[in-house]
A and B are shown apart, each in its own frame.
Chain A
């Protein structure tokens, strides 16, 4: 693994189903983020984690939950998917803490989710 890995890369699921998007990084970055990207809109922050064991809500957290049990993994869960959650989801990380929250993010390749 080099950088950030997301899985799955693409998924179609029925409304009401539970879904977890996985994100793993091997850069030992402290801060991790989940964004969604929709056509015509900027990247919108769903949840973030400044360090292992802590999480915070972003701009559009409703319907999503995250956990950060260790430095490397930051899964995003949709408890009961709805069609409005159809989007491309990007996981990102940055060094943070001693390295400062610089805004220079490293992104995963994205997970394209379609909710029918």
Chain B
């Protein structure tokens, strides 16, 4: 079966750095996505990786290792507004998105 694992909840301090991991086992791979979802709101697209390596976009970076079935989202200089759930998703061989349950990130002052 297809499976995406990520931690349920993480806590970090304002101004610090946090890394949210995601491991996946899917039938085929056409890219890995990270979405941000604030409580009570819709998910919004953050990043996309299809090749191995690091993609940087401002304070957020996303890393992919296809051989290990592994990705992480790195958030730097954390701000209170970064408190949200972060969803990892993989585009499988049928071009359907398979979603992880999400990681709730709590930022403390």
Residues of A within 8 A of B (CB): 40-45, 48, 58, 90, 101-110
Q: Which residues of chain A are within 8 angstroms of B89 by Cβ–Cβ distance?
A: 42-43, 103
Q: Is the CB of B41 within 8 A of A103?
A: no
CB distance from A31 to the nearest CB of B (A): 9
Contact of A42 among B42, B45, B91, B99 (CB under 8 A): B99
- Interfacial chain A residues near B87, Cβ < 8 Å: 42-43
CB distance from B100 to the nearest CB of A (A): 5
Say whether chain A's binding surface is mostly helix, strand, loop, or mixed: loop
Q: How far is the CB of A99 from chain B (nearest CB, A)?
A: 12
Sort A-B residue pairs by CB-CB distance and give the 7 closest, nearest first.
A42-B99, A107-B42, A103-B91, A101-B95, A43-B99, A42-B101, A104-B45
Interface size in chain B (residues, C-beta < 8 A): 22
**Among B30, B43, B48, contact of A43 (Cβ-Cβ < 8 Å):** B43
Interface set, chain B 9-49, CB cutoff 8 A to A: 30-31, 33, 41-45, 48
Of residues B4, B89, B97, which shows the largest number of chain A Cβ atoms within 10 Å of its Cβ?
Answer: B97
Give every chain B residue within 8 A of A110 (Cβ-Cβ): 41-42
Q: Who on chain A is nearest to B31 by CB?
A: A103
